[in-house]
Amino acid sequence: MENEVLRNIKTRRSCRAYTAQPVEPEKLKAILEAGTWAASGHGWQAAKIVVLQDAAEIAELERMNAAVLGNPAAHPFYGAPVVCVVLTDPERNTCVEDGALVMGNLMLAAHSLGIASCWIHRAREVFASAEGKALLQQWGVEGEWIGIGHCILGYAAEPEKPAAPRLEGRIVRI
């Protein structure tokens, strides 16, 4: 059985090289809207998406991410022109799961529109730091938040690699 949703799930890949071409506003709007439709525990909708498109803002966040990585010279955002920071409310007991579903929706929606994406980790550490909390305040994001991930978006600079074969034994039927 196959349909458009299943094809997108099976063909989406993480991209680690981007062109400078900006993501069209209507595509970005659709991707972000898909993120807001992610399932959430108790319908709380406790996740927040902060969107960065300014090169200087992205560079500052990338520097912080690279520092957590332990490699200040790294470029963990791979030149992507858009970074979506997914944050969640730590008061909600499903906050991590809710944020992960937002990340998944963002990446699948992007792929369906021809936009490449990748989940970049270390958002939790970045926004747990005093510097990260100050950055949130600078952005006007009030309150306590846990960083779930950075969803980078843009146009791929190289062709997608084929998927690895699926491992056997990952489904157990009772």
3-state SS assignment for residue 51: strand
- Looking at beta carbons, which pairs linking 92-97 to residues 24 or more positions away fall under 8 Å? 92/41, 92/42, 92/44, 92/46, 93/41, 94/40, 94/41, 94/42, 94/44, 94/46, 95/46, 95/47, 95/146, 95/148, 96/146, 96/148, 97/41
Predicted pLDDT at 55: 97
Predicted pLDDT at 44: 95
Which amino acid, one-letter code, is at 39?
A
**What is the pTM assigned to this prediction?**
0.96
Cα 173 to its chain centre, rounded Å, is: 32
> What is the chain's pLDDT, residue by residue, as a tens digit (174 residues)?
889 999 999 999 999 999 999 999 999 999 999 999 999 999 999 999 999 999 999 999 999 999 999 999 999 999 999 999 999 999 999 999 999 999 999 999 999 999 999 999 999 999 999 999 999 999 999 999 999 999 999 999 999 888 899 999 999 999
Sheet with 47-52, strands from edge to edge, namely 47-52, 82-88, 146-154, 116-120
Which amino acid, one-letter code, is at 89?
D
Residue 163: C-alpha distances to residues 10, 14, 23, 77, 104 (Å): 8, 10, 25, 22, 17
Determine the Cα–Cα distance for residues 107 and 1; give it in Å rounded to an integer.
Answer: 22
Neighbours of 85 (CB within 10 A): 25
3-state secondary structure 77-117: CCCCCEEEEEEECCCCCCHHHHHHHHHHHHHHHHHHCCCEE
Predicted pLDDT at 161: 86
